[in-house]
Amino acid sequence: MNKSMCRVLSFAAFLAFMACVPSRDAQLVNLATHASSSVTELVLTTSRPLQYKETKLQDFPGFTISFPADKVFSSEKTELVINDGAIKKIRNEYSQKDGQGSRELNSIVVELTRDLPYKISNNGNSIVVRIEHPEPFSAAAPPVKMDLEVQPQGKQDPLQKEPGYLVGPGDVLGIEVWKYPDVSRDVVVNEEGDIRLPWIKSIRAMGMTVPQLEKKLTQALSQYLVDPSVFVTIKDYNSQRVIAMGEVKAGIYPLKRKTTLTEFLSQIGGPTDKADVAHLKLIKKDGKATIYDLNELLKDPQKGGEVLVSGGDTFYVPPLETKKIYVLGQVTYPKAIDIKGTYKLVDAIADAGGTTARAVTKSVVVVRNNIGSPKGILIDLDKILKKADLSQNIELRPGDIIYVPRSFISDIETFWALITPPLWLLAIFGPIMGIFK
């Protein structure tokens, strides 16, 4: 086998190795329950849409949800005692039994208080379980809420400091007073933050969570009714709204509870393929803007849990800037290439069809137009392909020119002085003249 054929096979093998990337894992970013007098909902929010498998339990009322086609990771505790509406307990079954932080999740076991009808459906990045119960559950004791997130190093999740959606002006509330249908009704929170009911006339609801408002109404109605049980549901979320713009499904979205930035992005359908997810901009209602990297937030759940969206915020997802680099010399297809995000030397040469038989791969030059001081970078491509020296596989910048010579370059300074003007002229006028088509 001749040397040129060996070089081509080595290059092809290296490209195949570089093309191997790990599969996209998913993260369970939130698990939440909400119970009213007739319905209990369980919402599992993940970092991307997932296919699930539902299996009904035989030993006790309930079901399991598994993800046979995906790897799903979670930092939820193994067992969660919920006691919320129809849900008695939730157990997360992991591949790794012990440990803190994110672990691979095999399935979620949901134990119900009794055998009840339920329906499971997909809603974007969320799996929603709706459990119907014809008779309301007792409101004598508030639901027991357990900490859902494993907190490493004893740090408290900021979401636990401010649990639940805060009622505000414009919200429509369903007030159900068990066994007192003449008092039960839908009410709108007025501009002052108050609601009106028979007997108690006006009561402040603004800034309260649903459990807090239920307790306050129960206390107020106890002066007029015998042992009232009050259930509050939010029927229309109108007070806490966030504007989403850019490379997402733009619109004005209501917040239904305390929501992190990653949860909000998931709830509105995620970013488009053209989104620059490394530069998400969250503009608070006081005008302060902060840039976040989505990958960093997903990689570090503790950090991601600290970034909250609030009513009045504006969320902007910018588009990826399309910029060009140029591959010239001894390659199969000299061309201009649009780059998005991280793009390296071997990627460019591969996209140009690889090197020709005449190429001297030991002295590939990257011409970089640094502002005020353009320079040439000499790269030994053989060290990348034959010795896996990835330090030579530099990240390219917009405007870079990659030149693969047909003769060995020993003095980069001399070569640089001779070749730079023609290369820049070719880079500028090549696309206009159709050279790179």
Asked if residue 92 and residue 196 are part of one domain, the reply reads no
CB 69 within 8 A of CB 51: yes
Note the pLDDT tens digit of each residue in 17-37: 444 434 457 888 777 787 777
Query: Does the CA dihedral 366-369-370-375 come out positive or negative?
Result: positive
Cα–Cα dist 105/189, whole Å: 41
- Same domain, residue pair 299 and 343: no
User: Is 388 found in the same domain as 289?
Assistant: no
Longest Cα–Cα distance of the chain, Å, equals: 98
Length of the chain: 437
The whole-number pLDDT of residue 135 equals 60
Give 144's contacts (C-beta < 8 A, 6+ positions apart).
Answer: 81, 82, 83, 84
Name which of 20, 352, 1 is nearest 364 in CA terms. 352
Question: Looking at the domain assignment, is residue 17 inside a domain?
Answer: no
Q: pTM for the complete prediction?
A: 0.39
Please give the tally of structural domains in the chain. 4
| Residue 8 belongs to some domain of the structure | no
Task: Give residue-wise pLDDT tens across range 145-195.
Answer: 333 333 333 333 333 334 467 888 889 999 998 888 888 999 999 989 999
Residues 30 and 121 reside in one and the same domain: yes
Query: Domain range holding 307?
Result: 241-317
Q: Do both 364 and 394 map to the same domain?
A: yes
Classify residue 159: in a domain, yes or no. Answer: no
**Positions of the chain with pLDDT under 70:** 1-24, 81-84, 97-101, 134-164, 322, 369-374, 409-437
- What's the pLDDT at 262? 92
My answer on whether 329 and 385 are in the same domain is yes
Q: Is 96 a member of any domain?
A: yes
CATH number of the domain enclosing 422 = 3.10.560.10
* CA–CA dist 218, 19 (Å, integer): 62
Is 5 a domain residue?
no
| Shared-domain flag, residues 308 and 331 | no
Q: Are residues 341 and 416 in the same domain?
A: yes
Q: Are residues 333 and 367 located together in one domain of the fold?
A: yes
User: What's the confidence (pLDDT) of residue 373?
Assistant: 52
pLDDT at 316: 93
| pLDDT score for 189 | 93
> Both 67 and 123 in a single domain?
yes
* Residues 245 and 225 occupy one common structural domain: no
155 in any annotated domain: no
Picking from 150, 174, 202, the residue at the C-terminal end of a domain is: 150
Last residue of a domain, one of 317, 347, 367: 317
Q: Which of 217, 237, 257 is the endpoint of a domain?
A: 237
φ, ψ dihedrals at 9, nearest 5°: -65, -40
Dihedrals phi, psi of 395, to nearest 5 degrees: -80, 130
Task: Determine the 3-state secondary structure of 436 from DSSP.
Answer: coil
Decide if 294 is inside a domain. yes
CATH number where 83 lies: 2.60.40.3500
Q: Do residues 229 and 255 both lie within one domain?
A: no
